[in-house]
Structures are given as structure tokens and as C-alpha cells.
Chain A
Amino acid sequence: MKPLLFIAGAEWRYWQRSRLALGAAVLLAVLLVATTVLTALRMQGEAADRAHHQAEAEAAFLSQPARHPHRMVHYGHYVFRTPAPLARFDPGLDPATGQSIFLEGHRQNTAMFAASGDSADLGALSWLSPAMVYQLFAPLLLILLGHGLIVREREAATLATLLAQGAAGRTLLAGKALALLSVVGLLLVPMTASAALGVLAGDSSLAAVALLLAYGLYLSIWGALALLVSAMLRRRSAVLAALVTLWIALTVVLPSVATSLAAIAAPMPGKLETDLSMLADLRKLGDGHNANDPAFAQLRADLLARHGVQRVEDLPVNLRGVVAQFGERKLTETLNRYASAQMAAEARQAAALAVHGWLTPLLAVAEASRAVAGTDLAHHHRFLREAEALRYAFVQGLNKVHAEKLAYSDDVRRSGDAAAEERTRVDASNWQLLERFAFAPDPAGQRIARALPQWLMLGAWCFLLVGAGLWVGNRLKP
């Protein structure tokens, strides 16, 4: 252990004398601290805003006066997706997805108003977050610090001396690796602060630790790449050029190319297109507003038979309300079928992209980071599903009130008879059936498990690079 510490210590002293190393480290530190603070503030503001909007929407719904329950079905409700606590480190899909959905009867609306749609347009890379700084720029610092590790000794002809003095190639490499690992550890400090804030805001510390682990692995991969190339090439400038080329390929070019490839490999029909065939399916179901629609003849006959009466007026329930319930159930089955197909298509496309994580660790760590932070596609889809569950619950609750608390004879006459209309208005206390909506990320264990392919990718990269390091260490030549 002692020689390792000695070698690592020597490297640290070298870095302290290098203005380049110091300058780059200071710049990266400034960038990390700035994005950490700004993103945390932004996401905290967003969380407060959306919670406020959610409370307002709920208050508006509950304060509606007495009226016909079906009017409330159309009045509808809003839900807002509150960002996960760890979104202050990795906002993930938050800016690219709509943050609110209008819920109403007979329809599933899309999530509207994504921040990316109304923000100033300043190019492809301008959504800077701490996560992105770690993914893109931290590797550059490791390259700058690590590219000279071995090749410097080789150029200065000290490598021969070191090896001749009996230092094994492996020990030398391990000592240098230890120095870079300590840099990785230091780099993770601002992230720890960000993650701690997330834990304070209510996320589990397990998720925070997993997040640190993912980035620890990612940065170690880059450190190992720097060390290996430094040990293999003869000239320092060649090492640097090779590493920078690798960085360009793995972090700038490949992720974007993979995105285009995924779009080609797993094409996705647009929502409008599926909506058209969905509309055709829906028309076959009959209009739930019209109790005389032939589509509901069977329902009416069954209902009359079950209660042993001849006329709908003699039923103990309001036929219109029963039809509304039945119609909404049938319609929602169809809507959900199309919505699941759309989500499955999105998930397929996302998986087609994620598989490129075997080629570039950036895609692996980015996906793992979003999954663990609770800002990935799976969470967005769960938000959509929970919003739909809430929609269905309050619409059917109102339809139940429609069926049970209103007389059919009043309901059919309310358009022409003011007194009947007055009797079809139900008390505002009925609106209390609305459930409170709060979106929270999945349990930490589940989030970590969802990133299993990414853990395997990062693990495989580490494993391969350590293997390569051992191999090169045995054959290290001056």
C-alpha cells in the first residue's frame, strides 16, 4: 500500500505545480457549483409553483356551486407533476415533457406546456444541469489531469529508472490510478451536496448513494481510459489527441447519432395518427350523453329486466347516469388501450437508444441517473397513468351521483323545465369525491433496479478497463 500512496502523492504534487491542471480544476469547480446552485433554485421554484397550482386547481373544483353532476365532468380538473427531490441534480425529462394535464370526461388530454417549448432557444446543449456537467465536462478534467500520468515519465525518461529501481509496472499503474481515483472522489463533492439537498427534501438516502455510485463508476471509466492511453502511446501530444478524440466520439457524437438511429430503428406513430383510428373506434361505442343511442339498448333492457319494471321512469336509478357510467367505462377501455400502445412505442424507442450505452458510457450513466433521480420516461408514464386513474375516478364518481341522486324524469325535462332543472342540481358537498393528487417518485429500490441494464453496462466497462490495465501493467515498457 505504501508505494501506491507514495506514487499517488507524487502525482498530486505534480498537479499542484501545473497551472493547466489547477486552472481546469478551478473552472470545472466553478461550473459545478454554479449549475448546482442554479438548478437547485430553479427546480425548487418549479416544485413550489406546481404545488401551488395544484392546490389552486383543487380549491377551484371543490368551490364549484351546486349544479348538475355532468357539468362537473366537463368542468374537469388539472394535475401537475411535481419534480422529484433529486431533480435538483438531474432534471432529466422535466423540461422536455408537459408538466400539467387537463382532466375531463370522455377524453385523455396530452401533458401540455413543456418548458422547452416556451424557453429562449439557445441551441442543442443549453439545458445545463449538474448532471450534464458531470456527464460532459468532468471527463475532460480527468483527461487533462490523467493523460500525462505515464507518458510524461516516458518522455522524461524517468519511466525506465522507475521500472529499473524495481517498481512493478502494475504497482506504478495502480499508484497513478489511485491518484486519479482521489480526483474522482473530490469531483463528487458538489454532487454529494446536491444529493444531500434531495435527501433533505424527502428522497431516500439509498437513491442518493446509488446516484453517487453511478457517477463514481462513470468517472472511474474515464480515469481508466486516460491512464491506459497514457501507458500505451509514446508521445504526450498523441495521448492527448487520442483522448480528446475519444471524448468527442463518446460524449458529443455518439449520443446524438444513437438518437437518430433509435428514431430509425423504432419508429413511433404520432398521437394524431393513432387518435384518428381511436376516434373511429370510439364512434362505434355510442355517445354516453345519449341514453337512446342504440349502442345502449342491451344495457337498458338488462336494467329493466333486473329491476322487473317496464318503463325507465320506474327504475330506482337514473338511466342517463347509468348510461354515462357504462359509456365512460367502455370509452376509457379504448382510450387506455391506445395510450398504453403509445407509451409502449415510446418505451421501445427509448430502449433502442439506451442499448447504445454498451458503446458509450455517457448514455449508460445518463439513463441510470434519470432513473435513480426519478426523472426518466418510466416516471413520466406513471404520471400519465396516475392522472388517468384520477380522471376516471372522479368522472365515474360524478356519474354515480348522476345515476343515484337524480330523478330520471327531472333529468330528461331539465332543458325545458326550470323547476326540474333546479332539482337536477346536486349539492356542492358531492365534489368532495375528488382525490388529492401528489406525484412522488417510485421507491428507491425500484428506481435502482430499473437501471439494471445501465449498471451492467457501467460494470462491464469498468471490468474491461481494469482487465486491460492489468494486462498493460504487466507489459509496461519505457
Chain B
Amino acid sequence: MRVGSPSASLGFALRREAGLLARDRSVWAWWLVVLCLSVLSVSAGLFEVHHQKAKLARLVEADRADRVAVLKAQKDWGGAAYYSFHLTYDAPSDFAFAALGRRDDTAWMHRVRMLALEGQIHERDAGNPVLALIGRFDFAFFAAFIVPLVLIVLLHDLRAAERLAGRHDLLVATAGQAAPLWRLRAGLRASGVFIAAALPMLVAAGLSGTPLRTVVVACGWLLSYVLFWTAACAALAAWQQAGEVILATLLGLWILLGIVVPAAGRMAIDRVVPIPSGADILLTQREAVNDAWDLPKAATMQPFIERHPQWAAHATVERPFEWKWYYAFQQVGDQKAQALSEAYTAGRKQRDRLAAWLAFIAPPVLLERSLQALARTDVQASLAYEARVRAFHAGLREFYYPKLFRDEPFAPAALEAMPRFKAGADRD
């Protein structure tokens, strides 16, 4: 073997570094810490998903039993529609354990009925605000915020420590080239961190039956993220400064990218994209629904027919109270609030789009958002669920309108054909 050939010297350096590393107990301790925290984050996620699934299973059954009991007592279509509630929900995905995301602070379950939807869809059956404020210890938080801190502690004083210990020049002299030595050293330490962080997630993914593609993409994101921080640490560690200066600078970078940029970005985006106040949507809808009682019936039926011309022939209301008129003004209430409601949804979408762009200059946010997107626990998923609830509610109206407007005789057996909420109907 010719001394000095690149591959031979690399092999030698690798063996030497691996040997040094194997005896460095502090590095092993940090890997163990990462492993433990990853296990903790993943188990907390698995527990929460299990809890949500169990709750959902109980509710699906209770909701069905409640509806059956209520429908038994009904004597007309209007009453059946009025008294029967329908559970809608967004079941946790098979990767939700890794990123609980928005499921903590936005509603993922509703019970709706055929009344004006705007009065129902903004109900929040959200969890405890105290817990939502701090946020759970899920894998996404662990990976985005804690892994870089560990990398910073592990890698900031690679050179400074050796300099301090007086080994720096010896190491560089015996390694041949200096740059690969430090890269190798940083790479080995970072790989350990990556493996310790990813392993528990892989096990949990196996347990939850996560599709391989999701797991591979998640690992890809994590790997690129670890590479980013390793490169940042290595670049700063090459700086001829004391270890404390390097450490402080890296911590400053973590704060800047993980907290200051996102916080400033949130404020800026919320200012740039105004959304109608939720209270205004409800007020508009309420005024419309309540006014209908005092207005002539035609004032309700007219705007209703404009949207549903197929019922024009059946739209005369003769008695003081008819169910078809009652549901027509519920629908007109939604129609009046529609512009505001659509602006509210569009505004949230636009804010999320801008946040997605901003995340490119804030890697911790990028990783957290990417994992949430994979787990379908992000804003997009929450908006998609809302759209599914709207579609289901529209289906309910389509089911009852023919019966109400044609004044069909009440036939409980026909209720069997009532639309049922399908979990994740629009998913791939």
C-alpha cells in the first residue's frame, strides 16, 4: 500500500476517528440522551394517537346510537333533520404520532345537523389551552428544536477543545489534511445523533403501519436537517475563536431561526393578510336567520330559489310554520355569511402559503411543517377536513330537500339512505 494515497489515508483517518470516538464517553452519553428523548417523544405521540382513536371509536358508536334513538321518535322529515346530529371527524393518520400539529388547538371533530352550518362549524372541541400553549413533546418538536441544540453542544468545540487540550497541532499534523479530519469528526458525531433520533421513530412507524414512503421522506427531511446544522456548526467551529464565542453564536443562530424569524414572520403575515373577524361571520349569519322570522316568507324563499332553482315550483309557503321554510332560512343564513366565510378560509390558506415560503429561511419551522404535512396534522389538513364537513352538510341538505319540498309522506325506512360521513374520503 502506497502511503499517502487518498483512499488509504481516509480509511486510516476513519479508523482512527472511530477508535477515538468509541472511547469518548461524553459523546456516547449525548447519543443516549438523544435516544431517550426520541423514545419519549415517540411514545407520547403514540399514546396521544391511541387516546384519540379510542375516543373516536367510542364517539362513532355513541353518535350512531344517539341518532337511532332520536330518529325513532320522529314523525316528520323536518323533525328528523332537526333532532339528528351527525359526527364528522378527521381521524389521526398513521404518522400522526410523530407530529401532533394542529390537532391540539383546532377542532378535528364536530357534531353537525341540518341547521345553518356557519353557526356550527366554528365550534371548537379543542383540548386544554394550558397544554396547547406549551405544546406537546412530539417527535416534530424534538427533531426541530432539540436535535440542533444537541448538535451545537456536541460540535461547537471540536477544534477549540483540542486547541485547549494542546492536541490540535498534533492531530492536524498526523492526519495529513486538516479539513477532512474535522469534517469526519463532525460527521461521525452527527451520524450518531441522526441514528439515535431516527431509530425510535422507525420502530413506532413499524408499529403504526406507516407507509414506507412516508417514513423514507421523513428520514430524508431529518437527515437534511441534521446535515444543515452539522454544516453550520462545522463552519462556525472553524472560526479562530474561543469555544464560548462559537457556542454563543450558534445558540444565537438557533434562537434567530427557530424563534425570532418565525415570531416576526407570524406577526408580519397576520398583518399583511387580514382575515374577517370570526365574530362577524357569526353575527351576519345570526341576523339573517333571526330576521327571517319577522320577514315575509317570500323574502326568504326568493334568495333560496335563486340558488336552488329546481325547487321554484314548490316554494310557496302557506302555513305560518313549514319545515321547508325553516330550512330555507337556515340555508339563506349561510348564503349571507358565505362571502365572509370564504374570505376567512381563503385568508387562512393564504397565511399558510406565506408561512410555507417563510419556512425556507427558518429550517426548524420547515422541518416541523414538513413532518406535520406528512402526518396530515397541518393547517392544510385542518382546512381539508373543514371542506369535508361542508360537503357532508351539503349532502344532508340534498338528501332532505326533495322530501321537504315535495312534501313526501314520512317513511322512516328512507332514512337508511341518509348520507354518512366518510372518514378521509378525499385522501389518496
A422-433 CB mask vs B (1 if < 8 Å, else 0) is 000000000000
- Looking at B130-138, B208-216, B232-240, B409-417, the stretch in contact with chain A turns out to be B130-138
Asked whether, in the complex, the Cβ of A349 is within 8 Å of the Cβ of B368, the reply is no
Given known pairs A38-B267, A237-B164, the reply for A118 and B248 (CB within 8 Å) is no
Residues of A within 8 A of B269 (CB): 120, 122
Chain B residue, CB-CB nearest to A239: B244
Provide the residues of chain A in CB contact with B355, threshold 8 Å. Answer: 120-122
Determine how close the nearest CB of chain A comes to the CB of B273; give it in whole angstroms: 8
Chain A residues numbered 17-45 whose CB sits less than 8 Å from any CB in chain B: 20, 23-24, 27, 31, 35, 38, 42
Contact count band on A: 35 or more
Q: Is B419 an interface position by the 8 A CB rule?
A: no
B418 within 8 A of A: no
Interface readout for A59-102 with B: 1 if CB under 8 Å, 0 if not? 01000010100010011101010000000000011011110101
B403 within 8 A of A: no
B137 and A257 form a contact (CB under 8 A):
yes
A154 within 8 A of B: no
Which A96-130 residues have a C-beta within 8 angstroms of B?
96-98, 100, 102, 109-114, 116-128
Shortest distance from the beta carbon of A129 to any chain B beta carbon, whole Å: 9
Q: Is B186 among interface residues, defined by CB-CB distance under 8 A?
A: no
Tell me the minimal C-beta distance from A186 to chain B in angstroms.
Answer: 19
B59 engages A273 (CB within 8 Å):
yes
In the complex, which residue of chain A has the Cβ closest to the Cβ of B126?
A: A114
- One of A96, A122, A416 near B362 (C-beta < 8 A): A122
State in angstroms the CA–CA spacing of A60 and B286 once bound together.
11
Q: Out of A119, A262, A416, which one reaches B351, CB within 8 Å? A: A119
A109 contact set on B, CB distance < 8 A: 123
Name the segment of B16-24, B141-149, B388-396 touching the other chain: B141-149
Query: Is A346 in contact with chain B by the CB < 8 A criterion?
Result: yes
Known contacts A259-B136, A276-B63; is-contact A112 B105 (Cβ 8 Å): no
Q: Interface-forming stretch among A240-248, A290-298, A313-321, A398-406?
A: A240-248
Which residues of the partner chain B approach A241 to less than 8 Å between Cβ atoms?
A: 153, 157, 247
Residues of A near B279 (CB, < 8 A) are 53, 78, 80, 100, 113
The listed residue with most B CB atoms (<10 A of its CB), out of A120, A237, A256, is A120
Q: Digit string of B221-248 for contact with A (CB within 8 Å is 1, else 0)?
A: 0000000000000000000000111011
Residue of B nearest to A97 (CB): B129
Cα(A236)–Cα(B157), bound, Å: 12
* Residues in A whose Cβ lies below 8 Å from that of B255: 137
Contact residues in B for A93 (Cβ distance below 8 Å): 129-130, 133
Chain B: CB-nearest residue to A148: B244
Within 8 A of B (CB), among A298-322: none
A252 and B145 in contact, given A279-B66, A353-B131 (Cβ under 8 angstroms): yes
What chain A residues lie within 8 Å of B40 (beta carbons)? 257, 260
- A48 at interface (Cβ–Cβ under 8 A)? no
CA separation between A276 and B69, bound complex, in Å? 12
| Complex: chain B residue closest to A155, CB-CB | B164
| Residue from B44, B278, B368 within 8 A of A123 (CB atoms) | B368
Instruction: Indicate whether B193 reaches chain A with its CB closer than 8 angstroms.
Output: no
Q: Which chain A positions have C-beta within 8 A of B374?
A: none
CA distance A257 to B75 in the complex (A): 53
Chain A, residues 121-158, CB within 8 Å of chain B (1/0): the string is 11111111000000011001000100110000000000
In the complex, per-residue mask of B323-365: 1 if CB is within 8 Å of any chain A CB, else 0? 0000000000000000000001001100110110011001011
Q: Is the CB of B262 within 8 A of A123?
A: yes
- Measured CB to CB, the nearest residue on chain B to A129 is B263
With A114-B105, A117-B124, A416-B320 known to touch, is A260 a contact of B44 (CB < 8 Å)? yes
Report if B76 contacts A (CB, 8 A). no
Q: Is the CB of B262 within 8 A of A122?
A: yes
Say whether A435 faces chain B, with CB atoms less than 8 Å apart: no
Please give, as numbers and ranges, the residues of chain B lying within 8 Å of A268 by CB-CB distance.
127-128
The yes or no answer to A419 lying at the interface (CB within 8 A) is no
Check if B258 sits within 8 Å of A275, measured CB to CB: no
Q: What residues on B are CB-neighbors of A97 within 8 Å?
A: 129
Give chain A residues whose Cβ lies under 8 Å from the Cβ of B106: 117
Instruction: Tell me how far the C-beta of B50 lies from the nearest C-beta in chain A, rounded to whole angstroms.
Output: 11
Task: Verify B265–A126 contact, CB threshold 8 A.
Answer: yes
| B277 sits at the interface (CB 8 A) | yes
Q: Once the chains bind, are A123 and B124 in contact (CB under 8 Å)?
A: no
* Chain B residue contacts of A257, Cβ below 8 A: 40, 44, 137
Task: Find the residue from B59, B278, B293 having the highest chain A CB count within 10 A.
Answer: B278
Residue contact B258 to A276, C-beta cutoff 8 Å: no
**Beyond A27-B252, A280-B66, A377-B129, is A255–B244 a contact (Cβ under 8 Å)?**
no
Contact across chains for A255 and B134 when beta carbons are under 8 A apart: yes
Complex Cα distance, B347 from A398, in Å, reads 39
| Partner among B137, B278, B358, B378 whose Cβ is within 8 Å of the Cβ of A112 | B278
Q: Does B72 contact A (CB under 8 A)?
A: no
The reply to whether A244 and B66 contact each other, CB–CB distance below 8 Å, is no
Q: How far is the CA of A35 from the CA of B287 in the complex (A)?
A: 39
User: A245 contacts which chain B residues (CB < 8 A)?
Assistant: 153
Contacts A110-B123, A241-B153, A244-B153 given; does A263 touch B48 at CB 8 Å: yes
Check if A20 sits within 8 Å of B266, measured CB to CB. Answer: no
- Write 17 A-B pairs (CB below 8 A) sorted by A numbering: A20-B245, A71-B290, A96-B133, A102-B286, A113-B122, A114-B105, A118-B275, A118-B344, A120-B269, A122-B263, A125-B145, A126-B365, A240-B243, A240-B244, A241-B157, A253-B137, A275-B111
What 5 additional pairs, Cβ within 8 angstroms, besides A123-B368, A140-B251, A259-B137?
Answer: A96-B105, A122-B266, A125-B258, A128-B259, A144-B244
